[in-house]
Amino acid sequence: MMQTRCWLKELGVILHPFRPEKLDKFTFPTTSFDWIGFHINAVELLVTVQEEKRGKYVEFAREVLQSDRAGTLSAKALSRLAGRFCFVTVVLRIGRLYLRAIYDALSDCGAVKKWTAGFRRFDPIVKLSEHARIDIEWWVEALESTPTLRIYRTLGDKCCLFAPELVEHPTIIDRIPESLFLTFTGDAWSGKGWGVTTNDNETRFAGGFTFINGEQSSSNLRELALTLEFLTKYAHVARGKLLLYRTDNMTTRHYLNFGAGRNSLLSFYGRKIALQCAKLGCTLVAEHLRGKYNVVADMLSRLALNATNSDPLPHRFLLKRPRLALWARLRMTPTVDMLAANFGSSAALPRFVTIREDAFRWSDESLYQEISWWFPSNDLALPLLKKKIAPMMTLAEQQRPACIMLVPRYKSKHAYLYARFHRVAKLKKSGLLFGVMEKDGSFTNLPRSDIGMWVLATLPLEKLQLRQTHLASKGSAVPKS
């Protein structure tokens, strides 16, 4: 500041000519600055540890590992290392989990007890456990990758940190712009590999296992490997994002949120996932999704990968003319399109009523207040009918939600499942039925369909019409755009 003041004075500009001592009134506009060991980027809203400080911490950690191998590691040196790592946890929050083994080593040698009693000079030799050495090596690799803490700007133009501690309150994601978060779900099949679908309109990822042998691994390990495969192979998709992973596996949820547990092998992959998130500067939070709602995840690995019901155009929608003709034939209009795309047309992807609202998590009570329309892609039809809609058929008709599904007409493949529902209409295969939305926003009609379509329902047609009349009298059955 003083040097800048001298330069300005040489140019003829005097700061505070009457009270030159009040230099604290001046600040320089900046987009980034250093503060107590951290570098803060005010434009990109990122916080990192200063490069010089990170280098010193890495060097000191390697010295500690070398001293341990030589049998000369002192308790105070290990304590200083733990303190420096604790400082970094401001940015690398998951790192707190990898301090426990270091603290245990200090307790086992009696240093903590002596220091608490006032013996400040007590400095015994410490022997690190294998667990502690692995954790320190994890810290070294994490610091070398420049861990980053992202500050999220909400829709109300406020800033917040989405920490793993908020995993029990994932609704805060509703306050964050869609460009900053990614909601995804996936499933791992031992025979075929893994699959992931995200909240983008046509985004699916799939592949074979490279980190594990899928056929000889448990379902818990496959689920963790799935997450690591996705973060490694599609790093550009996850970089700098808040990732909300919905899974029906409670063990996966624990190891993704907390990075470690009782099982050493699962903890190993939990550490690798936490390290990869640190490298990408993303925040990963796992939310439990009950199995009956985990429809799309199961579809990806069990159907899409083995191509039994593959769908080259999962984003197709029913054209307006045949759709209105169908409503006229049924003498009713559905009130909500459960698989609507972002642009509002009936499409199979994404699996949300909106990009934030998961269609498969609607309860039967909520669906009872609507006449819902479902048009799944070919590979989604089977898991949708089997896991979501078929259980409704066990309810009495008075309590059963009114659902209408448009599905491909198969002579034998899904006949056993189709037979559980009421067939209320059909569309001939020779008609112009479908269209797609191009990347530039334009709409294109698809050629004439080569397979007929069936319209299935959870209620007979007469009961559907009565249900709509009943809901309309209550003011519930209002078609939604």
Helix (H, G, I), strand (E, B) or coil at 188: strand
pLDDT band at 350 (very low <50, low <70, confident <90, very high): very low
One DSSP character per residue, 124-156 reads: -B----HHHHHHHHHHHHHHHT--EEEPEEPTT
What tens digit of pLDDT does each residue of 39-79 get? Answer: 888 777 888 889 899 999 999 999 999 999 999 999 999 99
The structure tokens 């984003």 sit at 315
The pLDDT of 429-447, averaged and rounded, is: 77
pLDDT tens across 403-424, in order? 999 988 876 667 888 889 999 9
Is residue 176 predicted with pLDDT exceeding 80? no
The per-residue pLDDT for range 279-328, each reduced to its tens digit, is 888 888 888 877 666 666 665 555 444 444 566 676 777 888 888 888 89
State the chain's mean pLDDT as an integer: 79
Calpha distance 22→412 (Å, rounded):
87
Report pLDDT digits (tens) over 98-127: 898 899 999 999 999 999 899 989 999 999
Tens of pLDDT along 209-242?
A: 788 876 778 888 888 988 998 899 888 888 888 8
Task: List the alpha helices (DSSP H) in 34-149.
Answer: 51-70, 75-88, 100-108, 111-116, 130-144
Q: Name residue 89's amino acid.
A: T
Contact yes or no for 25/17 (Cβ under 8 A): no
What is the rounded CA–CA span in Å between residue 323 and residue 133? 64
